[in-house]
Structure 1
């Protein structure tokens, strides 16, 4: 995991200035008054200010005593100068109880106190001990000397800027999720417009403590509700517990996400074995006697993450993903001059690769599982390959395609009728093999796990092999963080390794519809998450049956680091056209320049498009007819990288976040 520094808390640097006085070369003179020659004096007083635009806090000490909490801290302004005259501070303590973290509104558990403001707490005191150093005494009737708790401090108000919220103490194992797991999607939550973004807290080292900050209010214990449905001030602070926010609010993403994949969020072991305890009742009925028996029969030391993974079939999926691999050969011509490729499937056991006989284990019947014949799909395609890009489908799934199962278990696909228009391209192959398995079906009714293989290419003129290389601008787990179930969006594609399996169909030379939202892989992904395609999938509908935006829409679209962990180099994008839809008119001859296609997927208003077109960008250019042209050999005129490459005056990183 990466260390997340949102706003490093500056440390107070106490600068001591010594003054030395020189006597005569002879005997020392008589002692003088303090500060006079020959007598040490106090020296100059360090400077202080009474205003700040930034307030930095250094924790010195805190003490939990019966009925009160005492905190000592020092504050400086944006220039590191000590601040005097602080009158405003607030502190919250959510206590660790047998039920977990809890803070009630009536003060019966935990507590809070405020100095300054409109309603200061009775008995509170905030005293400056010396320049910039303060003591904050906060009365809390329910607090005892042995109380452990989650403590959050904030200081400042008026002319002194408010500091960030700071978690100054937190019991061990307060929560099993982490800032890193939450920030896989909620990158830099504090900069978003999502509710309560201003409450994101830091720890005393200046690092974001996202979950700890949330739990100060969203405790493990909910606020009590009266019989008439009204909220009481007893129990916990908020109606929604932290675990309910995690479990319920994260249940219904659009595609291939399962909440029972607990490892997505829970980085630490989850040891709860009590059905009525924190978290279980959010999803399981407390009347579930069957589940009670499961829990009572299970060791008190079991990890609930493993329990759910095994129960749902996720463990089996993970084992299968690690237990097989697919390969396909560089395209070759058979004795009749027909282009072919040969695919193979291997079962893995450590370093040992055992061939799986595709023909003997193939069945295309998806109506039931086939433990003895697990292969439910085996398909191959040939592609044009030019300038490190797939530029179209050269051959595949034709009516005269010839499939041959070989004695060694491999399968050869030959294509007597390839497409025209690829004379300038190298030829490469992709193959996809899908295996059925027990214990899993997703909401699309698919019951298979897919393995995609890409071959190197061959130069048609020289017959030399050309390494298949494709620029990958996302991290390996970019997709699987959210699409975590290992099922497949459609047609048995897979999300692993940044969705590279999808490129066999969603590439620069094949404009897959994506609800007519965008061409190519990158533009399609941008659009389907945050652009015009966001609400077009039809996965979510309102009461009137109208499509509504998917879950990604509520996240910060400019937080590109969610997928692009190492930035985006606009200069590295090949300067060649990609296929484009012609605004739903069915015309397949239109092309788009690549950076414009990606940017327009989100920045799709007329003003943005006008800017792109003025700088050479195109989204609907006539550059060839079907597959019989040389469109992929032609450079575009877009000059986006001139101004928007990283480090430039209007670099992409100045408007999109690529750092955690």
Structure 2
């Protein structure tokens, strides 16, 4: 009670005093002004630029500047990393140091001097350095105790000390691997794809940054990393047991991926580099095999010996020159694809010119075997009742010569004429040449009007960013990527029910051959997994799809051709899948996703009945499957904007 009374009394007194202080209704006097102060500089990110740098006896000196995100000079830098790699006596990048200066650490190497206005002079030990050294490297300020995050790696500027290695165009790396600044530590191709650098203009530097660590010399021979840049670029690396294994790019040297002998896929046209045993052996695997009957025995050679014979002229690799000559030997042009006057056949008129633009007599060609093909478009896709379960109809006789070098192929077993029909046709075939190793080879002919008559949501030429020109496919008669993926759509149609390829266990994969589902499937679907194909080179494993690698512009599901996608093992087992669902289900494979598609009109088991009339094709009679189109309602919710947001394009 006493305590309660005391509290109550205190409250009453305080209230009374407070009321008495304000009972005149006036404010009190202002207090004294506070002491002047400068608000602290808050740095959330920073940009560094290399101003000058040079090698000297046992050191590398770098003058650089650092500013924060607001352009304010950073005056309290307390940590900076430097990596530097110097060429050895053989002219190869080999000797590397990775050193970090830390303020207050007596054991930290080197010195850092602040010149004011965010400018610093860094001097770091590099034992192999002399005033005559040539090398490369980068700095990376930040991540100390002052709260400034680390900057990007900033490359040394190109001066008289800089080791310029002109081999690869960074844009070619980006074409397959994606934008390196978007890469995470979980990137699909290379866990440290995010280890790129920048120059003073903040432009991304890739290959030259990689060379700082992945030098031209293996670790066992004095280099920094086990795997040299040549090894990684040509598809080899050491495994955990110290054995060199094929990896990465090596597995891309297949018919439908990358031409191993087309150096320009990655390299610039005018390659400048220093020959080394390590670099050359990545392609010339038996270079130092004493038991091989080589013109010159290299088994006891060292890197110093290479320069004796191999100057810049020896580095002019053929780079697929013979194949390029064949690909460019003749240029075929489609003049028209029309019905004959009696509507019974389709006529494909074409002409060809040589590399000098002169018209050639197609019927007189002995080094090429072009042939015309054509079919009818139905519901936005090519009908394929040809020589077997899924191919276009082809000419069975030589073309008829016309004026001005034009010839006309007659497609005698085309589908019957239908009022208002749209025709697709072209020329494919082979052009023969001699491979650089002496054996006969063929390059494909691929030309058609497919781009004019078929809707697409991607640019087929984007295929060439990862897949090289002139690749073999289907016996070198077609399937080359010279027209990009567009050339493939003439046969990979919704009407192509051809069964999937045979698996290793002898079974046949149940995969739709229509181009959209097929491409999605082989890049990241069941087809890819079952056949052990490579991952798509995305910037993060958690994002298995990089849609913009293939797609261009807006994707509007209302524009999707409503042709039912056929699939089957033989003519008696053909069934259908609605078009949008066939594409989406290659990635969205779960039951919940498929049920959602079904609710929007999708169907994964459309009953298909062949037409009553049998079609007489090139080499037999075939059933014609032409189901009525089915429209799905996906576009009601999945607008182009929502699709773009969900799929990052």
| TM-score grouping bracket, smaller chain normalisation | 0.7 to 0.9
1:96-175 alignment runs, 5 A limit:
96-103=87-94, 109-116=95-102, 122-130=108-116, 132-157=118-143, 159-170=147-158, 171=162, 173-175=164-166
In structure 1, distance between residues paired with 2:592 and 2:113: 56
Do the aligned residues in 1 keep the contact of 2:92 with 2:216 (CA within 8 Å)?
Answer: yes
Q: Which residue of 2 aligns with 1:38?
A: none
Q: Residue 411 of structure 1: CA displacement?
A: 5.3
Q: Residue 473 of structure 1: CA displacement?
A: 1.5
Q: Residue by residue, what CA displacement relative to the aligned partner does 1:547-591 show, whole Å, maximum 9, x if unpaired? A: x23354777643334334x44433674352441437999743413
In structure 2, distance between residues paired with 1:132 and 1:347: 64
1:525 equivalent to 2:519? Answer yes
Which deviates further from its counterpart, 156-165 or 212-221? 156-165
Q: Residue 240 of structure 1: CA displacement?
A: 1.4
1:196 equivalent to 2:196? Answer no
Q: Residue by residue, what CA displacement relative to the aligned partner does 1:221-261 show, whole Å, maximum 9, x if unpaired? A: 1122xxxxxxxxx6111121111211234233232433221
Given the alignment, which residue of 309, 319, 333 partners 2:320? 309
Q: Which residue of 2 aligns with 1:439?
A: 434
Gaps of 5+ in 2: 1-35, 237-248, 299-305, 501-508, 612-623
Q: 1:558 to 1:140 in 2, by over 3 A?
A: same
Q: 1:63 to 1:183 in 2, by over 3 A?
A: same
Do the aligned residues in 1 keep the contact of 2:165 with 2:273 (CA within 8 Å)?
Answer: no
Q: Residue by residue, what CA displacement relative to the aligned partner does 1:160-181 show, whole Å, maximum 9, x if unpaired? A: 3222222123535323112112
Given the alignment, which residue of 398, 415, 420 partners 1:418? 415
Indicate the structure (1 or 2) with the bigger Cα radius of gyration.
2
Given the alignment, which residue of 226, 237, 243 partners 2:230? 243
**SS of the counterpart of 1:639?**
helix
In structure 2, distance between residues paired with 1:632 and 1:260: 47
Gaps of 5+ in 1: 1-42, 104-108, 225-233, 362-371, 458-466, 538-547
Q: Residue 212 of structure 1: CA displacement?
A: 1.2
Q: 1:651 to 1:637 in 2, by over 3 A?
A: closer
In structure 2, distance between residues paired with 1:132 and 1:78: 13
In structure 1, distance between residues paired with 2:338 and 2:450: 8
1:215 equivalent to 2:211? Answer yes
Do the aligned residues in 2 keep the contact of 1:579 with 1:591 (CA within 8 Å)?
Answer: yes
1:486 equivalent to 2:471? Answer yes
Q: Residue by residue, what CA displacement relative to the aligned partner does 1:389-411 show, whole Å, maximum 9, x if unpaired? A: 22423666799986464355845
1:65 equivalent to 2:56? Answer yes
1:48 equivalent to 2:41? Answer yes
In structure 2, distance between residues paired with 1:71 and 1:416: 75
Higher helix proportion (structure 1 or 2): 2
Q: Which residue of 1 aligns with 2:373?
A: 380
What TM-score do the two structures reach when normalised by structure 1?
A: 0.71
Q: Which residue of 2 aligns with 1:609?
A: 594
In structure 2, distance between residues paired with 1:527 and 1:488: 19
1:393 equivalent to 2:384? Answer yes
Q: Residue 456 of structure 1: CA displacement?
A: 8.7
In structure 1, distance between residues paired with 2:450 and 2:328: 28
Q: 1:236 to 1:400 in 2, by over 3 A?
A: closer
Q: 1:583 to 1:344 in 2, by over 3 A?
A: closer
**SS of the counterpart of 2:634?**
coil
Q: Which residue of 1 aligns with 2:23?
A: none
1:242-321 alignment runs, 5 A limit:
242-249=229-236, 250-253=249-252, 254-256=254-256, 257-271=258-272, 276-277=276-277, 279-284=279-284, 285-286=287-288, 290=294, 292=296, 300-302=311-313, 304-310=315-321, 313-320=322-329
In structure 2, distance between residues paired with 1:116 and 1:455: 65
**SS of the counterpart of 1:652?**
helix
Q: Residue by residue, what CA displacement relative to the aligned partner does 1:312-362 show, whole Å, maximum 9, x if unpaired? A: x33433433xx2315364232355x512324545242433322310xx65x
1:346 equivalent to 2:352? Answer yes
Q: 1:585 to 1:653 in 2, by over 3 A?
A: farther
Q: 1:264 to 1:483 in 2, by over 3 A?
A: closer
1:574-585 alignment runs, 5 A limit:
574=560, 576-581=562-567
What TM-score do the two structures reach when normalised by structure 2?
A: 0.72
In structure 2, distance between residues paired with 1:144 and 1:353: 63
Q: Which residue of 1 aligns with 2:168?
A: 177
Q: Residue 268 of structure 1: CA displacement?
A: 4.3
**SS of the counterpart of 1:182?**
helix
In structure 2, distance between residues paired with 1:90 and 1:468: 58
Q: Which residue of 2 aligns with 1:471?
A: 456
In structure 2, distance between residues paired with 1:567 and 1:120: 57
In structure 2, distance between residues paired with 1:98 and 1:374: 51
Do the aligned residues in 2 keep the contact of 1:505 with 1:512 (CA within 8 Å)?
Answer: no
Q: 1:179 to 1:654 in 2, by over 3 A?
A: farther
Do the aligned residues in 2 keep the contact of 1:260 with 1:308 (CA within 8 Å)?
Answer: yes
Do the aligned residues in 2 keep the contact of 1:61 with 1:72 (CA within 8 Å)?
Answer: yes
**SS of the counterpart of 2:177?**
coil
